[in-house]
Amino acid sequence: MATHAVSGLRPEYERQLTDASDVGEVQRPLSMSERLWGSTPFRRFVMLIVLAVVWECYARFLSNPLLFPTFSETLATFWRDLVDGPLISRTFTSLQVLVLGYGAGLALAAVFTTLAVSSRIGTDLLSTLTAMFNPLPAIALLPLALIWFGLGIPSLVFVIIHSVLWAVSLNTHSGFRSVPETLRMSGRNYGLSGVRYVVLILIPAAFPAILAGLKIGWAFAWRTLIAAELVFGVSSRSGGLGWYIFEARAELLTAQVFAGLLTVILIGLFVESVIFRAIEARTVQRWGMQR
Amino acid sequence: MLMTEARTHRAEALGTVEATPLPVLLQVKGVTLQYKTPQHLVTATYRVDFDVHEADRFVILGPSGCGKSTLLKAVGGFMNPVEGSIRIRGREISAPGPNRMMVFQEFEQLMPWKTVLQNVLFPMKVSGRFKGADARERALSALAKVNLSKFADVYPHMLSGGMKMRVAIARAMAMEPDILLMDEPFAALDALTRRKMQEELLGLWDQLHFTVMFVTHSIEEAILVGSRILVLSPHPGRVRAELNSTGFGHGSVDHPDFGRLSKRIHDFLFEDELAVEARS
In whole angstroms, what is the distance from residue A240 CA to residue A224 CA? 13
Give the one of B101, B108, B127 whose C-beta lies nearest to A183's C-beta: B108
Give mean pLDDT, residues A187-212. Answer: 89
* Interchain pair B157, A287: CB under 8 A: yes
Domains identified in chain B and CATH numbers: 2-99+209-279 (3.40.50.300)
In whole angstroms, what is the distance from residue A132 CA to residue A111 CA? 18
- Cβ neighbours of B76 in A, within 8 Å: 185, 189
Three-class DSSP labels, A217-248: HHHHHHHHHHHHHHHHHHHCCCCCHHHHHHHH
Q: Is the dihedral of CA B117, B120, B126, B129 positive or negative?
A: negative
Per-residue pLDDT tens over the stretch A88-104:
888 988 899 999 999 99
* Interchain pair A205, B111: CB under 8 A: yes
Give mean pLDDT, residues A274-284. Answer: 90
Q: Are A174 and A251 in contact (CB under 8 A)?
A: no
- Report pLDDT for A237: 61
Give the one of A182, A192, A204 whose C-beta lies nearest to B106's C-beta: A182
Q: Is the pLDDT of residue A111 over 80?
A: yes
DSSP B237: B
* Interchain pair A289, B157: CB under 8 A: yes
Give mean pLDDT, residues A190-197. Answer: 85
Per-residue pLDDT tens over the stretch A164-174:
999 999 999 99
- H helical segments located in chain A: 32-38, 40-62, 71-84, 87-118, 120-133, 142-149, 153-177, 181-189, 194-197, 203-205, 207-232, 241-250, 254-270, 277-282
- Report pLDDT for B194: 86
Q: Which of B200, B241, B237, B238 is nearest to B219 (CA)?
A: B241
Note whether B108 contacts A: Cβ–Cβ < 8 A. yes
β-pairing, B179-183 vs B24-36, is unpaired
β-pairing, B212-216 vs B179-183, is parallel
Note whether B112 contacts A: Cβ–Cβ < 8 A. yes
In whole angstroms, what is the distance from residue A271 CA to residue B78 CA? 43
- Report pLDDT for B20: 66
* Interchain pair A288, B108: CB under 8 A: no
Quick one: angle between helices A254-270 and A241-250, nearest 10?
160
Q: Does an H or E element contain B266, and which?
A: helix B256-279
- Cβ neighbours of A190 in B, within 8 Å: 98, 122-123, 126-127
DSSP B46: E
Buried/exposed B152-181: b ≥16 CB within 10 Å, e otherwise = beebbeebeebbbbbbbbbbbbbbbbbbbb
Q: What is the CATH number of domain A73-282?
A: 1.10.3720.10
In whole angstroms, what is the distance from residue B47 CA to residue A132 CA? 50
Which is more confident, A74 or B64? A74
In whole angstroms, what is the distance from residue B235 CA to residue B215 CA? 17
Q: Is the pLDDT of residue A79 over 80?
A: yes
For chain B, count helices (H), then strands (E).
Answer: 8, 10
**Chain A closest-CA separation from residue B236 CA (Å):** 24
- Cβ neighbours of B113 in A, within 8 Å: 204-205, 207, 283, 287, 289
Q: Which residues pair with B52 in a beta bridge?
A: B26
- Report pLDDT for A18: 80
- Report pLDDT for A5: 52
A217: confidence class by pLDDT, cuts 50, 70, 90: very high
Question: In Å, what is the CA distance from B179 to each residue of A245, B121, B228?
Answer: 69, 19, 15
Q: Is the pLDDT of residue A218 over 90?
A: yes
Q: Give chain B's end-to-end CA distance (angstroms, integer).
A: 46
In whole angstroms, what is the distance from residue A262 CA to residue A72 CA? 12
Per-residue pLDDT tens over the stretch A6-37:
667 888 888 888 877 777 776 777 788 888 88
- Report pLDDT for B12: 47
- Cβ neighbours of A204 in B, within 8 Å: 111, 113
Q: Which of B161, B156, B159 is nearest to A286 (CA)?
A: B156
* Interchain pair A185, B97: CB under 8 A: no
Residues of A with CB under 8 A from a CB of B: 180, 182-183, 185-186, 188-192, 196, 200-201, 204-205, 207, 283, 286-289
> Can you give the pLDDT of all 280 residues of chain B as single tens digits?
444 444 554 444 444 444 567 888 888 888 888 888 888 888 888 888 998 988 889 999 988 878 888 899 999 989 988 998 898 888 888 888 888 999 998 888 899 999 999 999 999 988 888 888 888 988 998 898 888 888 988 999 988 888 898 899 899 988 888 999 999 888 888 888 888 888 888 888 888 888 999 999 888 888 888 888 998 888 888 888 888 888 787 777 788 888 888 888 888 888 777 666 666 6
Where exactly are the structural domains of chain A? 36-68, 73-282
Give the one of A182, A191, A200 whose C-beta lies nearest to B98's C-beta: A191
Give the one of B96, B100, B113 whose C-beta lies nearest to A287's C-beta: B113
